[in-house]
Structure 1
Amino acid sequence: MPYLAMDTATGTLTVAVGEPGVLLGEATTNLKRNHSNRLMPLIDVLLDDIGIQPENLKGIIVGHGPGSYTGVRIGVATAKMMAWALNIPLLGVSSLDGLARNFLASDGIVCPMFDARRKQAYTALYERTECSFRKTLADSLLPLDRLFSAIHSRQDERRNAQKPVSVLFCGDGAQAYRQEIKEAFGDDAYFVECAALDLVRAGHLLDIGIPRLLAGEKADITGFAPEYLQLAEAEAKWLSKQTQSPEASADGRS
């Protein structure tokens, strides 16, 4: 029962094939360019190396963002096309989950950050409990001050419960805003020093998505869309111009 997973939401391009509890193969690059040209060839090579035909796939799992507008769109469009052509179920999984699961054993708070520029980040918060690794802040696009405030609140709750309050920051956003993070959290802040652990992994998307597919969860292929969390820059500029134009004001539009 092989399943295919892919993610193109960041500079990392990652694909994996696996079965329940088994990773059959995974291929990852971190070239930060040309995802559209390299995704399908990478999938073809991986399937060929494992000896699996596309027709043998039982489902497709895709990182649906948040992240780069163009990057997310490439992965989602490819996953939709393959799922429709092969008539197999499709499921979207948070790309932030695909990074955070590198740190399942962390005792403190895990904060993956994808740089959204202008001192903003696509982010979420995760914490390990006795039974699971759970998300305590949903995927969000936040300015640094609001993210830091949310983390401080979680630290206060954990401190009252006598739990570790250290925060592991990961992803390109953590590197981009390393100084601001250090100033806000001091010795409570930790960063990923191993580059291989600071990448989204499609193998983790398999771990998350396969059980959900087996439980009957799946996306409507026709209506399935990326989780952008914001308008693309070009769209935002266009809307801004519309709301500021004399014609729009005269017509009563806002």
Structure 2
Amino acid sequence: MPYLALDTATTSLSVAVGERGKLFGEATTQLSRNHSVKLMPMVENLLADLDLDPTQLQGFVIGRGPGSYTGVRIAVTAAKAMAFALNLPLVGVSTLDGLARHGAVSDALVVPMLDARRRQSYTALYENQNGFFVKIQEDKLLVLDDIIRAINSRMVVRRLDKTKPAQVLLLGDGAENHRDELQEKLGDKARFATSPAQNFVRAAHLLDVGIPLLEAGEVHDPATFAPEYLQLVEAEAKWLAAQQAAKEGEPS
């Protein structure tokens, strides 16, 4: 029985259906808005095209972010509702995992970058180790200079391993938006997506990550499952700062 994957954390809207090692179908669009309007019709159309009823699904894999605050919540909310309604398990995986797997067969260090404005990106580090594509640095929100430092630090380790080339594959809109500076500071180590599609998150890649977790019973409770933001909403951050300033100004 198949699984359904959803991701709405970025400008990409992607849904996919498949089993371990087998993709049944996928639909991905590159939109800047209206994920909340488009998501469920896209799911319904994909299931109809595959002659599947929702009751035939076995579970859900959800891109839990990081990414757009509003966007992340759309897939998470939809998945929680479906999991409750169908009494099915769900697992949340990093949206960065879905982007990084465009480089799963690369020998380079793979660095997905989702733009977070102010020269910041959501990012993580991945590489192939003994035939397995593994995450070697967890999701972080970093400014561009710190991303470059993290890459160079890992390159020192890779140079000691003669089997790994001193190259880095940079993916996502964060990489494209800062391409010139990354190229300048990383030099001939830097590689970028060879097609626009490699900068989009694919739900099919989320299936690759999430299905083994579901089958191992590593699931999330729909009641408590929440997005991964990595930073506070700007309004919330300002409110907390104001509260802290007011507290510090109180007489002791």
1:181-219 deviation line (CA, Å, top 9, x unaligned): 112101111111301122111011111111111111110
CA contact (8 A) 2:172 2:198 kept: no
Letter in 2 for 1:66: P
Find the counterpart in structure 1 of residue 109 from structure 2: 109
Distance 1:52 1:161, change over 3 A: same
Structure 1 CA distance, aligned partners of 2:198 and 2:142? 23
Distance 1:186 1:37, change over 3 A: same
How many angstroms does 1:160 deviate by?
Answer: 1.5
Letter in 1 for 2:218: E
Q: How does 1:114-193 map to 2 (within 5 A)?
A: 114-162=114-162, 163-193=164-194
How many angstroms does 1:248 deviate by?
Answer: 6.4
How many angstroms does 1:112 deviate by?
Answer: 0.3
Letter in 1 for 2:203: A
**SS of 2:169 mapped into structure 1:** strand
RMSD of the TM alignment (CA)?
Answer: 1.3
**SS of 2:60 mapped into structure 1:** strand
Letter in 1 for 2:112: P
TM-score (norm 1): 0.95
Q: How does 1:48-87 map to 2 (within 5 A)?
A: 48-87=48-87
**SS of 1:117 mapped into structure 2:** coil
Unaligned 5+ segments in structure 1 are none
Unaligned 5+ segments in structure 2 are none
**SS of 1:91 mapped into structure 2:** strand
Structure 2 CA distance, aligned partners of 1:40 and 1:131? 37
Find the counterpart in structure 2 of residue 205 from structure 1: 206
How many angstroms does 1:229 deviate by?
Answer: 0.6
Find the counterpart in structure 1 of residue 220 from structure 2: 219
Structure 1 CA distance, aligned partners of 2:108 and 2:223? 39
How many angstroms does 1:31 deviate by?
Answer: 1.3
**SS of 1:4 mapped into structure 2:** strand
**SS of 1:51 mapped into structure 2:** coil
TM-score (norm 2): 0.96
How many angstroms does 1:240 deviate by?
Answer: 2.1
